[in-house]
Amino acid sequence: MLRRTALAAGVALATLLSGHAEAETRQRFTFWYGLTGQLSDVVQQVCKRFNEGQNEFQVSCVSQGDYAHALQNAIAAFRAGEQPTVVQVYDIGTADLMLSGQYIPARDLMQEQKRKVDWNNYLSPIAAYYATSKGEMLSFPFNSSTAVMYWNRAMGREAGFEKPPETWEELEKALRAMKAKGIACPMAINFDSWPWLEQFASVQNLPIASKGNGYGGLDAEYVFQKQDLVRKHFNRLFSWYKEGLLAVKTPESGQNVTAAFASGTCGAALNSIADHSTIRLTAKPDLDWTPALLPIYAGTTRTNTRVGGASLWTLKGRPAGEYRAAAAFFEFLATPESEEFWATNTGYIPVTHSGYDRLKAEHFFQKPQNVGREVAMTSLLATEPTEFSRGLRLGNMTQFRATYANEMQAAFAGQKSMDEALDSMAAEGNRLLRRFEQTYRGKQLP
C-alpha cells in the first residue's frame, strides 16, 4: 500500500515537474490592455486559449485599468526600460504611437517572423484607422466597434412607430409622440463626442478637421464648427432638450445612457455596439429592444460610420524571442475561430472578412442573443471609407473630448448659446492641436 502511494506520488511529482519544465521552455511575453470587468475576463480567456492551443509560447495578459492608463503606463514603463511586448492603445491614441517611433510596424513584424498575413482580409473601414496615409497597417485591430442607435420597440409602437426612425426628422416626430404618451425620457443623451459629433460627422460625410481629419499633417485645424449641418444639428438637439425630448444621462446625473436604456426608462440612446451584451445582460425583464442605424438628415446620403475601440501595438526594445511569440499571438487572434469567440463573448465586431464570413456561416446574427448586431456591420460597411469617414488622426483627442463635454454641459445649462459652445470647443481644440504639433515638431505622420 505504501509502495503504491509512493509510486503515485512520484508519478504526480514527475508530471508536475514535466509541466513546469514545459512552461519554462516556452517563450514568454507580456500583453498590457485597458479593459476591466467582464471584458477583462474575456481577454483572459483569449490568452488562456492561446496558451493552451500550442506549447511554444506563453502570453501574460495584464489589465492596466482603462485605455488612458494602459497608454500612460506603457509610456512610463518604456522610459524605465520595462515596457511590455504588446500594448492595447485606443483609437484616439493612434497618432501618439505613430509619432513616438517606439513600435515595430505590423507588416515588418510579421514579415520578419515569416508569418503570412492577408492584409486585404481586414475590413477596410477598420484597417484605414490604423494605417498610414499609404494604407499600410501599423498595428493590429483588436476590439472594434461602431456607433448605433438603441431603440425601445415597445415605446416606439406605443407612439405609433413600428420601426426605428431612419432620419433625424422622423426621430423628432417619434420622440415627440413618446412624450405625448407620458414617457419622461424619450431619448437619453450624454456629453460624449464619439457618438454625437465624431460619428455624426462620419455618417454625414462631414469633416471634423482640415487636412483630411489630420491624416494630411500635424498642422490640421478643427473645422466642424464651420459646417452648417453641424450647427443646425446641435442647435436642434438643444431645442429637443428644452422641449423635454432628451434627458441627460451621465455618471454625474446618477445613471449613464446604457443603464438608462437597459432599465426601460428611455426610448432611445446612441452608443457603441459593444454595449449590446451589457444591455442584454442587464435589461429589465421582457425589454423589447434593438440596435438600429444612426439617423441621417433627410435628403442626404449615408456614409459609413467609423470604427472605435483599440488596436494592438508591438513595442521596440524587447528580446527577439518575444517578437516571435507576439507574431504567433497576432496570427492566432486573426483566425476566424478566435474572432467568433471574441464576438460571441463581447459586443465587439469581427475585424476581418473571414471572421465576418464565419459569423454569417454560423448564423451568429440569427441567434436570439445576437439579433440586431448585424446593424453595426451594415453601418460600418455602408460605403468605402471617404476622406472624412476613414478616421481621425488628431493629437490630444482625450483632452478635446473633455473640452467637448464641458462646452456641451455649459450650453445645456444655459450658460452660453450652442453656437458659442461649438466655437469655444473648436478654439480650445485648436490650442490642443498646436500643443501637439509643438511636441512633435519636425516629425511627420507616416
The C-alpha cell at 343 is 464576438
Whole-number pLDDT of residue 134:
85
**pLDDT value at residue 24:** 65
Strand partners, 289: 152
Write the pLDDT tens digit of every residue in 168-198: 999 999 999 999 999 999 999 999 999 999 9
Residue 25's identity, in one-letter code, is T
Residue 14 confidence (pLDDT): 46
CB neighbour list of residue 99: distance below 8 Å, 6 or more residues apart: 440, 443, 445
- Is residue 291 a contact partner of residue 349, using CB atoms and an 8 Å limit? no
Residue numbers in the chain where pLDDT is lower than 70: 1-24
Ordered by where they begin, the domains of the chain are 27-145+307-381 (3.40.190.10), 147-304+395-440 (3.40.190.10)
Grid look-up 471584458 returns: 39
Pairwise CA distance, residues 316 & 17, whole Å = 34
Q: What is the pLDDT of residue 396?
A: 95
Residue 151 CA to residue 233 CA, distance in Å, equals: 20
pLDDT of 15: 47
Instruction: Report pLDDT for 135.
Output: 87
